[in-house]
Amino acid sequence: MQEHREAAHLAALGREWIAAWNSRDLERVLALYDENSEMTSDRIQALGFDSSGTLTGKAKLRMYWGKALTLLPNLHFELIDTYVSPDSVVVFYQNERGAKICEYLRLNALGKIVQGSANHLAH
């Protein structure tokens, strides 16, 4: 039964992640993340941030996502599904441009996101 509750909690986190982004409230999004969380995405380099495609720490995430929100005034995510493991959730969603994306989110023991990776469909 504990496993079921954990899976339900992780799925709920995935739904909250979508709702936080759709609220366009950057602090609400960041509240889901650990202070030293790490994020990887091909968009990081594309927006002029770290050439490795990975950022570490909330301060860097705030700058990156703040710029992204400014550039994408119509940003909206539609949840398709969530997939869970004992310490992570994958949020499968579609953005406002119709692109389908999988966001891998690994959590620490406190339930905060410590590692994220945006995975886009290869063309």
CA pair distance 92, 84, nearest whole angstrom: 11
Give the separation between CA 102 and CA 80, rounded to whole angstroms. 10
CATH of the domain at 43: 3.10.450.50
CA angle 28, 55, 60 (to 5 degrees): 55
The average confidence (pLDDT) of the chain is: 92
Contact of 102 with 91, CB cutoff 8 Å: yes
Q: What is the pTM of this model?
A: 0.91
Range of the domain at 108: 2-120
Helix (H, G, I), strand (E, B) or coil at 53: coil
Per-residue pLDDT tens over the stretch 9-48: 999 999 999 999 999 999 999 999 999 999 999 888 888 8
Q: Do residues 20 and 28 make contact, with C-beta atoms less than 8 angstroms apart? A: yes
pLDDT-derived band at 1, boundaries 50, 70, 90? very low
Looking at the chain, the whole-number percentage of residues with pLDDT higher than 90 is 81
